[in-house]
Chain A
Amino acid sequence: MTRNRAIVLARIGVVAGAVVLVEVLCRLGVINPLTLVAPSRMVFDLAGILASGDINRDIAYTATTIATALVLSVVLGIVLGVAVHALPRVRRALDPLLASYYSVPSFIFYPLFVAIFGLNTFPLIVLGMAFAVPAMMMSTMAGLDRIPRVLLKTARVHRLNRWETATRIVLPSATPYLFTGLKLAIAYAFIGVIAGEFIMASAGLGHSIAFAYEGFDNHTMYALMLFVLVVVTVMNMSLHAWEGRLMRRRIRA
């Protein structure tokens, strides 16, 4: 316990140290304010932007887009994973494609999505999903692959029907893998949507960051970047804590 606490403290120390260093360098004028504004100034600017409410619409827009892409990705990823797992031939055909999937820069298709669906949330959702679905799908398949056969036999000895087997044996048994898939899907949905907005969009956080960048509005740009960073970090940490609570008892101490 105390050892864990020491690790956490060290981690916070590293981040805090880096922030303080940047702050000092900015204050001393070593770093040009046109390149990077001081961290304290970012917080100040962000507080101002959030208080003014100017950015609320964009936040809501991006959050909705990401949430939609995420939910669809998780559902579709699990459904596809289960289906492909059940069809070994399809699986054999698909495996090499899935394995090399992330070597294709999906962003190059974004203009195509925009051309097809128009400049609205839809191509962004598709882009987020293009990133997140395969991760969820592969994690689901990995989870299903690793269910010990003896557990499925145990299900049959207890005369469970298919639904009971799925919910009481398969799902809990695959949970660690589904969690991995979920974490990846969240990260990918964020990346896909915000980067898509950055490239081409009419609203959203990514769009606002790009807009500030093009208008040499460093203060807004860095404040919004800080915002995205904080949101992603907080989300990841909560998810990590949740997973830790769920999984601790399943791992040998």
Chain B
Amino acid sequence: MAVVHNLAAARGVPPAPVATLRGVTRVYDGERRVEALGPIDLDLAEGEFFAVVGPSGCGKSTLLDVLSGLSRPTSGSITFEGRPVEGEVPDGVGVVFQEDASFAWLTVRDNVAFGLRRAGVDAAEIARRVDYAVGFMGLADFAAAYPAQLSGGMRQRVCIARTLVMRPRLILLDEPFGALDQQTRLLMGDELLRLWRETGATVLLITHALDEAAMLSDRVGVMSARPGRFIDLVETGWPRDRDSRIVSESRFGALTGRLWSNLREESLRAMGSKGAAA
């Protein structure tokens, strides 16, 4: 994949935000009214790796839904590349969902090629990109298999590959490594970092693993219990070419410690209000 230089950053000018959220809230109006999110104010800088951590049910997936344009915020406004996001997913945004979204009726290869075929990319280019992504995700031996023959973690990787081949400029990932063991999780994190560096994409990663957030991101947003707001934004200060080996640095422990001290109380609150959130 081509190396995309961040021109604004190279000139020393602070890069323009790729996505902005202003006063964004989301209320679910069902039989019971659920205030799920916000208000949220956030700027995602171009090429930034942003991680979101927060207690279960605090509105992380809801944040992803409104930011991607899959659902409209109840109030507030969202932009992507300067244009408002209103109930439609803009071109250039890729999403990996928390749930398994692989297509059971297609092989791994056809799953990964799905978006490219749709976009009318020529066959040779599709084959090249799909082969690369399938290999990249460690699925080369399973290219002809169907999702039913894969483990949960492998299916999630199919979905990641299907998103990455589209080369989105903003990648939203909702606990993509949730079904993986810790070792694979660290290695996949490294792969994600490599990809992020190579493509210059902006990444928003939702995770419940504090160490993952601390290791992968430039900035971590810590969310409160529902309705989720950012109660802390932590700059990690890692260099751009980092990898999982930074877990042995002393600052890494300090970072996860800070995230946890922020989250502990919120998690307790979320547990206490479990009945209401369920």
Chain A interface (Cβ < 8 Å from any Cβ of B) = 148, 150-151, 153-154, 156-160, 164, 169, 172-173, 175, 249-253
Contacts and interface: CB of A to CB of B under 8 A. Distances in A.
B149 A158 contact: no
Nearest to B69: A156
A244 B146 CA distance: 15
Interface in B71-126: 88-89, 91, 93-95, 97, 99-101, 103-105, 114-115, 118
A157 B148 contact: no
A148 B99 contact: yes
Nearest to B162: A154
Interface in B188-215: none
A153 B93 CA distance: 13
A35 B9 CA distance: 95
Contacts of B103: 151, 169, 172-173
B20 interface: no
Given A148-B99, A159-B89, A252-B149, A153 B105 contact: no
A174 to B, nearest CB: 10
Contacts of B143: none
A154 B89 contact: no
A173 B105 contact: yes
A158 B105 contact: no
Given A159-B89, A175-B105, A250-B105, A153 B148 contact: no
Contacts of B99: 148, 150
Nearest to A246: B105
A253 B118 contact: no
Nearest to A253: B149
Interface of B: 68, 70, 88-89, 91, 93-95, 97, 99-101, 103-105, 114-115, 118, 146, 148-149, 163
A160 B149 CA distance: 27
Contacts of A253: 148-149
Given A150-B97, A151-B103, A175-B105, A160 B118 contact: yes
A154 B148 CA distance: 18
A253 B104 CA distance: 14
Contacts of B146: 249-250
B91 A151 contact: no
27 contacts: A148-B99, A150-B100, A153-B95, A153-B101, A154-B101, A156-B70, A156-B88, A156-B89, A157-B68, A157-B70, A157-B94, A157-B95, A158-B114, A158-B115, A158-B118, A159-B88, A159-B89, A160-B118, A169-B103, A172-B103, A173-B105, A175-B105, A249-B146, A249-B149, A250-B146, A251-B148, A253-B148
A252 B105 contact: no
A72 to B, nearest CB: 27
Contacts of A157: 68, 70, 89, 93-95, 163
A88 to B, nearest CB: 13
A246 to B, nearest CB: 9
Contacts of B104: 173, 250
Contacts of A249: 146, 148-149
Nearest to B71: A153
Q: Which of A154, A173, A251 has the most CB of B within 10 A?
A: A154
A252 B68 CA distance: 32
Given A158-B114, A159-B91, A164-B118, A150 B101 contact: yes
A159 B70 CA distance: 11
A253 B145 CA distance: 12
A173 B99 CA distance: 16
Contacts of A151: 101, 103
Contact of B148 (A148, A158, A250): A250
Contacts of A153: 70, 95, 97, 101
Contacts of A173: 103-105
A249 B106 CA distance: 9
A253 B101 CA distance: 20
Contacts of B88: 156, 159
Nearest to A164: B118
Nearest to A160: B118
